[in-house]
Amino acid sequence: MDGELCRLCGGDGRIGNALGHSSATCPGCHGSGRRADTSSRFHDVTKTKPSHYRAEVATPKGPKGPATSEGVQLALEVSASVVLAEDAKTRLLAEIVNHESTHGRLTKTFIKKIRKQTRPAQ
């Protein structure tokens, strides 16, 4: 009997139920009390075909820029802003594209919110 002790039964070869009235052969070691050597039993058959190793074709994850005329105009205003840092401009442009994709077009409230961020503080 070589191998490590079974982790499921602790080497007893039997496991009991929660109430302690009955016991059964351990499914982990099949009653031997030792952990079974699984290296010879299982053979990994995943990724056996050359097609499994093909590189995935990158698909675009949505529009790269605004699709509506309001969105294009607002994106130009954001890009021309001297108040915003580059990371803030990138975030706002992504917000414009996201808003267009979820709402279909830009709402007046959203346009006001973005324009307020592009203007210098008064």
Strand-pairing partners, residue 118, are: none
Other Cβ atoms less than 10 A from the Cβ of 72: the count is: 13
Long-range contacts of 49-54 (CB under 8 A, 24+ apart): none
Indicate if the pLDDT at residue 14 is higher than 90.
no
What pLDDT digit, counting tens, does each position of 15-68 carry? Answer: 887 776 778 888 878 888 887 665 556 666 676 777 666 776 666 666 678 888
Q: Give the pLDDT score at 6.
A: 85
Would you say the C-alpha torsion 19, 24, 30, 33 has a positive or negative sign? positive
Residue ranges of E strands in 1-122? 14-16, 23-25
The mean predicted confidence, pLDDT, of the chain is 81
Q: Does residue 67 or residue 122 have the better pLDDT? A: 67
Residue 50 in tokens: 């050359």
| Percent of the chain predicted with pLDDT > 70 | 75
Q: Give the pLDDT score at 7.
A: 81
| φ/ψ of residue 107, rounded to 5 | -85, 160
Report pTM.
Answer: 0.49
